[in-house]
Amino acid sequence: MGSLPVRSKGMERLLTLRRSGTDYVVTGVAILSTVVVLVPLVAILGYLIYKGASSLNLAFFTHAPVPVEETGGGMANAIAGSGVILGLASLLGIPLGIGAGVYLAEYARGTWLGAAVRFTADVLNGVPSIVMGIAAYSLIVAKQHHFSGLAGGVALAIMMVPTVARTTEEMLATVPNPVREAALGLGIPKWRTVISVSLRTASPGIITGCMLAFARVAGETAPLLFTAFGNQFWNFNLNQPIAALPLQIFVYAISPYDEWHRLAWAGALVLIVMIMVSVTLVRIFANRGALKGGH
Amino acid sequence: MNEPGIIPLIQTRVPQQREPDGTEVHAPAVPSVIRNFLRAKSSGRIADGAFAGVMVLCALSIFAIVVLIVFVLVSDSRLSIHASGWKFFTGQIWDPVSGDFGALPFIYGTVVSSLLAVVMAVPLALAVSIFLLDICPKFLRGPISFLTELLAAIPSVVYGLWGVFVLVPIIRDQVGPVLEKYLGWTGFFVEPNFGVGIFTASVILAIMIFPVISSISRDVMRAVPVNQREAALALGATRWEMIRISVLRNARMGIVGSVILGLGRALGETMAVTMVIGNHPDIVKNLFAPGYTLASVIANEFTEATGDLYLSALIEVGLALFLVTIVVNAVARLLVWAVTRGNTAGAH
Amino acid sequence: MGVDIRVEDLNAWYGPVHTIKDVSLHIPANHATALIGPSGCGKSTFVRCLNRMHETNPSARAEGTVRMGDLDIYKDATPVEIRRRVGMVFQRPNPFPTMSIYDNVASGLKLNGFRKKRVLDEVVERSLRQAALWDEVKDDLKKKSGASISGGQQQRLCIARALAVDPEVLLMDEPASALDPVSTAKIEDLIFKLKSQYTIVIVTHNMQQAARVAENTGFFLMGKLVEFAPTTKIFTNPSDKRTEDYITGRFG
């Protein structure tokens, strides 16, 4: 006993106290931080709903904007324009992304080319959206000498490709290999196996990924500034400047007019409800898919 | 010892072959319709080759996109590169009218606002990750992580709108005076404070990059093997000590990666920043002063740029932004991969 | 009706690992042939070489001759054509989880472009009857997913799926190893019934099973075919010392 370094009882207790004290403090800090983070979220959503809902009316969904002096008007043309641009972006971006994901999961497992594509996709995912806008501008707008919905759609499509590709790859990786072997063992060609077995089995997850990519670009403004450009009037021609909901919100938000501010809030609410609904639907959908796959 | 014949094969009595019950159903008579059909069917070699080719093309399109972006950015900014040279990145004057294009104020504004945002977001993000992983009761975990992910789903322009009408007045009237009173002596928080400026932009950026850092650092922390945690707890560590010793230390590379990813997001963030930073190309120490970033100068001036040199200079700004974010993201991805991949390999 | 299989000097590699070494044997038509041996001895690789399934692994390679009837499968045909003639049943039941029971059975035909619905209906019923599953599933053919039935039923579904393309050869890679004894007995009954109509090659680690179902048995050890003989001879009077050691459980 005497040869061992003896710590007094009090010392021992103090040490334990300090250790558990630190533990409590850290726990407290973590809880506090979570609360602090939830505050702006609630603030943003709450204020948005409050301002947006009080500014919304039927005209918002049925009318194009009116000149500054007049009241009323809406963003119907911008909602439609967003639909057109997003439709084009999905049409271009989703097949390309799924194709790339299929290559990564079904053809390039363990190859250096696959690793290179995967890495490039991840890096491309982090490129600022405004750079995509410049690229689409230089490639299309500068050549055609006019802004167009086409250029906006291309810019957004480029942004969708890496996201869709990576989720497709991840979802295909969850398809058990014996299922593929079953198809190949029946003498079904590989292309048919990929489409009717791999993709079909992974389809709930892939749809989720596509909708998340869609939701992400649906709110993008920067790449549309000098591609789709915006339009005060109705337009469905892809070769013309076209209105988009996020663009219109931006223009109205930085304007000096109260009436336009009101419309900006209404637009923001509509935009975010559209995005949230799709993300939430996707969550429910994905969860259900996971349950089914669990058997 | 094992000479054959000496030891009888005890276990090898052939079991009785059982007669199966039930009726037999016979295979179709030869040659069957099915066999003929399948024999006649092509092997699908051409279709297989074509399909694989299309998939490869889709994959290569990702390279093509990157190459194409680099190509147009470089070729369209050549005019400005020739005209300004390296002075483009050191010049402090941005005056399109007189043809002076110095991007340093934008670089300054971008770097300062992004770093400040990271400084604000990282402690919060890590604290929330720890909370969700180790402290939070199960029934709250789902809803809270869903809510924090919702932050990521809010479009940039909506953050901007909220910033302009809600955050700017708060910073101007409530937060600003307090900061000025206690931290004014540092020179970072000096009146006049109009609410729009680098500080406000940083706050918005911090909120926006929080979900990125939080979700990825959570993935990385979750990848720390359970036995590491248990080892620490078995040694009598408190929860915090366990987190510090086993979780944070093992996941540190990946956490750094997630932080850098957040930084990359902040560097390129455009709309929200443009709406609250004040858009004035100055290099000043005061964080309340208006600033300008690489992304926001493009957003603001691109459609109004008159003259080829002006446009070319803006595209060069885009090129600089592109290269910086590429490098930042590549580094971050490699760090995150190193951690998560190392762990999955260790799990086998 | 099945065809016989002649294997001459077959060698196979996974990357640098030589997994099948100079195997030659003659598998008679319309009989069941069992392949036994300790795990890792190459018996699974061997059957995968018989329908060129090993080629789905990019690092795999095989040399030698395999003839099915008159057809040299490595020279005269593509893997896809071979696999249409050869049914395969795997170690674990692997029905297509997103397809109904009906579509699972019909998949080999449907996904190869066969469209005649009346013929498909006939084929599905006959295959399910052959696999002794018809009575259990006939009421929810199109209602239930292939993954929603029990493990033993799933494996019989996989056998029905393999039979639906009317193959000449049926390869079974430890078809009962993941099943309970009752399901195993059902699968063995099936093999017994089917072997007069198809050439069946069954890999098993269960010697009793080999003895129950197969006329001929081959013993694999470390990539080599040590002995191939009528099952009764293998189990009562093996000519090779190593076979005897394995049979009597003294292997190791």
Same domain, B185 and B253: yes
Whole-angstrom CA distances from B247 to B16, B121, B233 are 60, 20, 12
Residue B96 has pLDDT above 50, yes or no: yes
- Average pLDDT on B84-99 reads 88
- Give A120's contacts (C-beta < 8 A, 6+ positions apart): B62, B63, B66
Query: In chain A, what percentage of residues exceed pLDDT 70?
Result: 94
Strand partners, C169: C86, C199
**Rounded to a whole number, what is the distance in Å from the CA of A174 to chain C's nearest CA?**
13
Of A219, A225, A206, A224, the C-alpha closest to A282 is A206
**Rounded to a whole number, what is the distance in Å from the CA of B58 to chain A's nearest CA?**
5
| Adjacency order of strands within the sheet including C17-27 | C17-27, C5-14, C60-68, C71-72
User: Residue A115: what pLDDT?
Assistant: 92
Interface of B with A in 167-186 (CB under 8 A): none
User: Residue B145: what pLDDT?
Assistant: 81
Domain assignment of residue B64, given as a range: 44-74
Cβ atoms of A46 and A269 closer than 8 Å? no
Contact A218 B128 (CB under 8 A): no
Residue where a domain terminates, one of B59, B74, B89 = B74
Q: In the structure encoding, which two tokens stand for residue A149, read together?
A: 């919905």
Residue B213 has pLDDT above 80, yes or no: yes
Q: Name the domain count of chain B.
A: 2
Q: Which long-range contacts (CB under 8 A, 24 or more apart) does B225-231 make?
A: B225/B250, B225/B343, B225/B346, B225/B347
Interface test with C, best of A109, A111, A186 (most C CBs within 10 A): A186
Residue for token digits 């307090």? B178
Q: In the structure encoding, which two tokens stand for residue B75, read together?
A: 């070729």
Q: Residue A295's pLDDT band (boundaries 50, 70, 90)?
A: very low
- Average pLDDT on C105-114 reads 91
Query: In chain B, what percentage of residues exceed pLDDT 70?
Result: 89
Query: In chain A, what percentage of residues exceed pLDDT 90?
Result: 48
Tell me, yes or no, whether B11 lies in a domain. no
Distance separating alpha carbons of residues A183 and C96, to the nearest angstrom:
8
Distance separating alpha carbons of residues B111 and B202, to the nearest angstrom:
10
Q: Residue C172's pLDDT band (boundaries 50, 70, 90)?
A: very high
Same domain, B55 and B137: no
User: Residue B19: what pLDDT?
Assistant: 61
Tell me, yes or no, whether A72 lies in a domain. no
With CA atoms as reference, the chain A residue closest to B148 would be A38
Report the largest interatomic distance among the alpha carbons of chain B, rounded to a whole angstrom: 108
The pLDDT tens digits for B297-325 are 999 999 888 888 999 999 999 999 999 99
The pLDDT tens digits for B230-264 are 888 888 888 888 888 888 888 888 888 899 989 99
User: Residue B347: what pLDDT?
Assistant: 34
Cβ atoms of B301 and A130 closer than 8 Å? no
Tell me, yes or no, whether B25 lies in a domain. no
Tell me, yes or no, whether A167 lies in a domain. yes
What are the φ and ψ backbone dihedral angles of B25, each rounded to 5 degrees? Answer: -115, 130
Residue C1 has pLDDT above 80, yes or no: no
Of C241, C184, C180, the C-alpha closest to C208 is C184
The pLDDT tens digits for B276-297 are 999 989 888 889 999 999 999 9
**Rounded to a whole number, what is the distance in Å from the CA of A195 to chain B's nearest CA?**
10
The pLDDT tens digits for C219-248 are 999 999 999 999 999 988 899 999 988 888
Q: In the structure encoding, which two tokens stand for residue C175, read together?
A: 């078809």
Interface test with C, best of B10, B11, B14 (most C CBs within 10 A): B14
Of C94, C80, C83, the C-alpha closest to C159 is C94
Tell me, yes or no, whether B6 lies in a domain. no
User: Residue A286: what pLDDT?
Assistant: 62
User: Residue C10: what pLDDT?
Assistant: 94
Say what the ipTM of the complex is: 0.90
What are the φ and ψ backbone dihedral angles of C7, each rounded to 5 degrees? Answer: -110, 130
Q: Residue C95's pLDDT band (boundaries 50, 70, 90)?
A: very high
Same domain, B70 and B196: no
Tell me, yes or no, whether A55 lies in a domain. no
Residue B339 has pLDDT above 80, yes or no: no
Residue B66 has pLDDT above 80, yes or no: yes
Q: Which residue has the higher pLDDT, A187 or B145?
A: A187
Whole-angstrom CA distances from B244 to A17, B232, B248 are 18, 10, 5
Q: Which of A17-21, A43-47, A148-152 has the lowest mean pLDDT?
A: A17-21
Contact B34 C119 (CB under 8 A): yes
With CA atoms as reference, the chain C residue closest to A182 would be C94
**Rounded to a whole number, what is the distance in Å from the CA of A172 to chain C's nearest CA?**
14
B1 touches chain C (CB under 8 A): no
Q: Which of A125-129, B20-24, B58-62, C118-122 has the lowest mean pLDDT?
A: B20-24
**Rounded to a whole number, what is the distance in Å from the CA of A192 to chain B's nearest CA?**
8
Q: Name the domain count of chain A.
A: 1
Helix (H) or strand (E) holding C98: none
- Average pLDDT on B215-236 reads 84
Q: Which residue has the higher pLDDT, B166 or B43?
A: B166
The rounded Cα B279 to chain-centroid distance in angstroms is: 26
Domain assignment of residue A160, given as a range: 79-238+258-293
- Average pLDDT on B204-231 reads 87
Distance separating alpha carbons of residues A132 and B72, to the nearest angstrom:
11
Mean pLDDT of chain B: 85
The pLDDT tens digits for B185-207 are 888 888 888 889 999 999 999 99
Distance separating alpha carbons of residues B179 and B347, to the nearest angstrom:
49
User: Residue B7: what pLDDT?
Assistant: 44
User: Would you list the domain boundaries of chain C?
Assistant: 5-93+169-247
Domain C5-93+169-247, what fold?
A: Rossmann fold (3.40.50)
A288 touches chain C (CB under 8 A): no
User: SS3 of C89, please?
Assistant: strand
B5 touches chain C (CB under 8 A): no
Tell me, yes or no, whether B24 lies in a domain. no
Of A145, A171, C208, A78, the C-alpha closest to B14 is C208
Q: Residue A290's pLDDT band (boundaries 50, 70, 90)?
A: very low
DSSP code at position B32: P
Q: Residue A179's pLDDT band (boundaries 50, 70, 90)?
A: very high
Region of B236 on the Ramachandran plot (φ > 0 left; ψ -120 to 50 alpha; else beta) = left
Among the partner-chain residues C83, C90, C97, the one whose CB lies closest to the CB of A187 is C83
The pLDDT tens digits for A204-262 are 888 888 888 998 899 999 999 999 888 888 888 888 899 999 999 999 999 888 888 98
Tell me, yes or no, whether A53 lies in a domain. no
- Average pLDDT on C70-93 reads 91
Contact A34 B144 (CB under 8 A): yes
Distance separating alpha carbons of residues B173 and B181, to the nearest angstrom:
13
pTM for the predicted model, two decimal places? 0.87
- Average pLDDT on B89-118 reads 92
Tell me, yes or no, whether B334 lies in a domain. yes
Tell me, yes or no, whether B29 lies in a domain. no
The pLDDT tens digits for A26-84 are 888 888 888 888 888 888 888 888 988 888 888 888 888 887 777 777 889 999 999 99
Region of C223 on the Ramachandran plot (φ > 0 left; ψ -120 to 50 alpha; else beta) = left
Instruction: Find chain C residues with C-beta within 8 A of B28's C-beta.
Output: 126, 166
Same domain, B210 and B269: yes
B18 touches chain C (CB under 8 A): yes
The pLDDT tens digits for C9-19 are 999 999 899 99
A111: domain CATH number is 1.10.3720.10
Residue for token digits 């932009």? B201
Mean pLDDT of chain C: 90
A174 touches chain C (CB under 8 A): no
Tell me, yes or no, whether A228 lies in a domain. yes
Q: Which of B153-162, B244-253, C156-165 has the lowest mean pLDDT?
A: B244-253
Q: Which residue has the higher pLDDT, B78 or A9?
A: B78
Neighbours of chain A (3+ CB pairs under 8 A): B, C
Let me know if B221 is exposed, middle or buried by CB neighbors in 10 A (0-12, 13-18, 19+).
Answer: buried
- Average pLDDT on B69-92 reads 91
Interface test with B, best of C52, C80, C107, C166 (most B CBs within 10 A): C166
Whole-angstrom CA distances from C33 to A169, B341, C14, C30 are 40, 44, 25, 10
Contact C53 A295 (CB under 8 A): no
- Average pLDDT on C89-96 reads 93
User: Residue B183: what pLDDT?
Assistant: 85
Residue for token digits 């005060």? A232
* Strands C216-221, C224-230: pairing kind: antiparallel
**Rounded to a whole number, what is the distance in Å from the CA of C110 to chain B's nearest CA?**
11
Residue C251 has pLDDT above 70, yes or no: no
Tell me, yes or no, whether B8 lies in a domain. no
Let me know if A28 is exposed, middle or buried by CB neighbors in 10 A (0-12, 13-18, 19+).
Answer: exposed
Q: Chain C residues within 8 A (CB-CB) of chain B? A: 1, 77-78, 80-81, 84-85, 109, 112-114, 119, 123, 126, 129-130, 132, 163-166, 185, 188-190, 192-193, 197-198, 207-208, 211-213, 231-232, 235-236, 241, 244-245, 247-250
Among the partner-chain residues C80, C193, C245, the one whose CB lies closest to the CB of B44 is C80
Cβ atoms of A250 and A267 closer than 8 Å? no
